[in-house]
Structures are given as structure tokens and as C-alpha cells.
Amino acid sequence: MKISANLGFLFTDRPLPERILAAAELGFSAVELHWPYDTPARDVRAALDRTGLPVLALNTIRGDVSSGENGLSALAGREKEARAAIAQAFAYGRDIGAGSVHVMSGRKGDGADWDVLAANLDYACALAADAGMGVLVEPLNPFDAPDYLLSRLEDAADLLDRVANPALRVMFDIYHLARMGYDLIEAYRTHRAIVGHVQFASVPDRAEPDHGDVDIAQLLAALSREGYEGHFGAEYKPRTGRFDWLDELSSQVGS
């Protein structure tokens, strides 16, 4: 089983290149980033080259975080900013060899609009083609991301139908979907054709995946049996600092 470390939440007590080294030392087989832009891409690439780890994805910037913004790509009247953020993500991603860019939509109260989002995703897909990368969108639950435009898996599927570009896929985040009450196996079966990546954390506290309302090991094994062959992304907020769950999860699910 391939497990990636999301360095937006893990090893945050050290610079990003050192987080990559720490992930490799613990046996993760890939890394994922949130907003790495304060770190020169050459430093990230050097750490990736040293470890041999691939970087699966990074996010577009959220905008004015102090005012609560959570993405720009759906905001009417902000198209120039949104496309600059998308271009920034693909330029950085190309420099570090990233696989995809997660394009963050934004909040309805900030002027989010489905037409704007679709047009900006068209733009993102064009950049993805030039860079040899992919594009991801992710439904975020309303408890963690209040008022986020894209909160339902069904809306993500409709959006992909509308954009109709094979570069665009959905992030299937177990934590977010479980918090919204989805039957996770049925949701995967229904939407497997558009799933680009799977992430996990404990439910409902988003901590280490060794407890909670969802048996993560059992679920990841089931998704593997359903045909998922990609990495499983550990995107959780550590409470203990322990990683014994990593060996336990691998042994339960199998390699």
C-alpha cells in the first residue's frame, strides 16, 4: 500500500525540505503540499531528489486568509487574481515535479459562482496540458470550511461533466466525506471513474488514523479491492506525534 505524507499538517516544526526528509525516513512513499510558496522551489526539488519521493499535489493559494477567504477560482470579478494563482501553482509544481494542482474554489459569501469556476478550471486544464500535470478539485465539509462552494461530491461530478477535460479529477477525502454523512464505499463505487486521489484522517477529530468512527484500515483495503491503485494521502492533524499507525495500517491493509 502506498501512503503519502501531507506536509501541510505533518512535521510543521521544521522547514519544508526537512519535512520531506522526515517523511522519507519514516517510510512514506510520496508527499503532498498545501502552500509551499514561501520556500524556493529549488530547495524543495533538492530534497525530493535526495529522497526519491514524488510530490503528488499542491494547492492554489486561498486569497486573503485574514478575512476568511478559502480559494479564488470561483470568485466573480476576481478572475485575474484567480488565474495568477493557478499559474503560480503550475509554475511551482512544474519546477518541483508535482503531479497535480488542487484548485481551490472559494466561499459563496465571497462571490463564488459555478460559471466562473468552470471557466477557471478550463484555464487550469490548459496549463496542466502544457506542464504534463493534472488538476484536482475537492469537496470540503461545511464544519471545517463553512460556506465553501464545492461541498458535495455530486456537485464535483457535475462540474467535471461540464468542464469535460480528462486532466480534471476529484480528491476523494475520507474525512471530509464522512463528516458529511456519505456511505464511503458506495460513494467511491458511484464516482470511481473521476477519483484522482484519496486522502484520509480519523473521523471526526481529523487526527491519527488509528481510532474514530471510520475503520481506516478496513476502508482503505476495501477501496483497494474496488480497484483504487493510487497513493492514500495521510492528511491529518497530529495529536500524539507518533507514527506507529503507519506500520500497523500497512500490515493490516497489505502492500
Query: Which residues are designated catalytic?
Result: 138, 235
> What pairing do the DSSP bridges indicate for beta strands 30-32 and 100-102?
unpaired
Please give, one letter per residue, the 3-state secondary structure of 69-132.
Answer: CCECCCECCCHHHHHHHHHHHHHHHHHHCCCEEECCECEHHHCECHHHHHHHHHHHHHHHHHHC
What cell does 125 get?
A: 486544464
DSSP code of residue 188: H
The residue among 140, 99, 103, 148 whose CA lies nearest residue 121 is 103
Separation in Å, CA 84 to CA 63, 94, 104, 176: 11, 15, 13, 28
What cell does 165 get?
A: 477535460
The residue among 68, 1, 30, 21 whose CA lies nearest residue 235 is 30
The residue among 16, 72, 10, 81 whose CA lies nearest residue 45 is 16
